[in-house]
């Protein structure tokens, strides 16, 4: 008797997804609630768990297919293992081997690989780790995992890939005959299907340009005071809270202060109404393997520096591992994007609809500035505020950045709400 595996509910307004990868092959043993497939939605990768323990049976859809919520994608057979013949027939139904293609290995042929994977059986990889393994063409069973219970992490795979490249680059013994010179001027093209996440990013960014009256205003900030405060207290901060004191805590706090004074920057347009909010849910733009994601720091106005830094660090780690959830990215009233970590000096960020503004941070760079009539070198950062001019006037946008500048150049303002 077989149990159906169906596409689970993916979240509000999400009705379909793309089957990104099968995590189990036909014939593999499966535990209850163990992930058997990875789905790519408009925002994150979602793992589909097995409803029962048994053996992976027929896979109804192939990788890359679009599936709707509730659709049948596979079946789990009863028993601890399916005969090799049945597994091969099931695999052939989904991915038939054509002329000249290598057929699926038989049970006895696959046994050594299973032994290499450990007594627990075949390796279970997260979507992010599996993606890197496939990109570099590595055998995960030959990589030592440093994660919990010996599981592979993305860093483990990247380190193995780097070691393999270094080994390949080592000078080889001189051949007896001179090697044929490589062809010069060779032109190559590669076509890669856009992921669902990348398609959604493109759609939303274009939608923002087509709908909002976008405008960007700039200011620069002397980061001397923030850098001195961070240098003075970072060791004590880390000792007490178990997290490093970064710059984002200062910027989130300064943004909340400025948004309180200029509420339209934290508002949005819904139909013919303007929605003002007395809370701040900050969307933090984070780089993920498949593109930019924006998990939400909720009620940021009420959070301490430690809570802000811990939450942002957790977002970054889970974005890298591909474990962010739809709930993590739901909502958001204002966005902060830090292009400075990649070396950006200046940019014009695009708002994240239905939000009305986004703050762009950039790299800190020593530049000559005039202080008390003297030219001195100071660590300066450009700030950019892109906003919807339908809702936010230029005066309000400029005032918002001035409030940010004042708070960052004199962090005491953050403590006394000034």
Q: Which residues are catalytic?
A: 389, 393
Q: Is the dihedral of CA 7, 12, 15, 19 positive or negative?
A: negative
Distance CA 216, CA 270 (A): 22
Distances 294 to 41, 246, 330 between C-alpha atoms, Å:
14, 19, 9
Distance CA 93, CA 60 (A): 9
**Residue 76: strand pairing partners:** 3, 56
Distance CA 306, CA 232 (A): 16
Distance CA 61, CA 4 (A): 13
Q: Which residue has the tokens 């990875």?
A: 38
The beta-strand segments (E) located in 259-401 are 268-270, 273-275, 282-284, 286-288, 291-293, 296-297, 334-338, 357-361, 365-371, 374-388
With CA atoms as reference, report the closest residue to 294 among 251, 346, 247, 351.
351
Distance CA 201, CA 400 (A): 27
For residue 181, the SS3 value is: coil
With CA atoms as reference, report the closest residue to 205 among 292, 328, 326, 266.
292
For residue 162, the SS3 value is: helix
């Amino acid at each position: 008797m077989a149990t159906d595996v169906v596409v689970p509910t993916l979240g509000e307004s999400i009705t379909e997804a793309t089957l990104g990868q099968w995590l189990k092959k036909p014939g593999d043993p499966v535990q209850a609630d163990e992930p058997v497939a990875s789905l790519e939605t408009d925002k994150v990768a979602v793992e589909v768990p097995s409803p029962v323990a048994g053996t992976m049976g027929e896979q109804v859809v192939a990788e890359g297919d679009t599936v709707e919520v509730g659709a049948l994608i596979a079946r789990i057979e009863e028993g601890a293992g399916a005969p090799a013949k049945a597994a091969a027939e099931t695999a052939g139904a989904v991915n038939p081997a054509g002329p000249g293609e290598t057929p699926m290995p038989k049970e006895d042929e696959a046994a050594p690989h299973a032994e290499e994977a450990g007594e627990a059986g075949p390796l279970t990889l997260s979507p992010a780790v599996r993606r890197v393994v496939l990109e570099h063409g590595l055998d995960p069973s030959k990589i030592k995992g440093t994660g919990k219970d010996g599981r592979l992490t993305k860093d483990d795979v990247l380190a193995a890939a780097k070691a393999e490249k270094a080994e390949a680059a080592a000078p080889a013994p001189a051949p007896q005959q001179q090697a044929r010179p490589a062809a010069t001027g060779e032109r190559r093209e590669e076509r890669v299907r856009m992921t669902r996440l990348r398609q959604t990013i493109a759609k939303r960014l274009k939608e923002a340009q087509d709908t909002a009256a976008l405008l960007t205003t700039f200011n620069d900030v002397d980061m001397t005071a923030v850098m001195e405060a961070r240098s003075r207290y970072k060791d004590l901060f880390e000792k007490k809270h178990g997290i490093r004191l970064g710059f984002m805590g200062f910027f989130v706090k300064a943004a909340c202060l400025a948004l309180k004074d200029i509420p339209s920057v934290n508002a949005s347009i819904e139909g013919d109404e303007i929605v003002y909010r007395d809370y701040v849910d900050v969307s933090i733009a984070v780089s993920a393997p498949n593109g930019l994601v924006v998990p939400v720091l909720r009620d940021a106005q009420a959070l301490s520096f430690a809570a802000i830094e811990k939450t942002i660090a957790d977002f970054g780690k889970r974005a890298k591992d591909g474990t962010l959830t739809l709930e993590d990215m739901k909502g958001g009233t204002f966005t902060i994007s830090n292009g400075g970590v990649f070396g950006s000096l200046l940019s014009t960020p695009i708002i994240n609809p239905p939000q009305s503004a986004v703050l762009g941070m950039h790299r800190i760079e020593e530049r000559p500035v005039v202080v008390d009539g003297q030219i001195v070198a100071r660590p300066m950062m450009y700030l950019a505020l892109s906003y919807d001019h339908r809702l936010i006037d230029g005066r309000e946008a400029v005032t918002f950045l001035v409030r940010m500048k004042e708070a960052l150049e004199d962090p005491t303002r953050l403590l006394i709400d000034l």
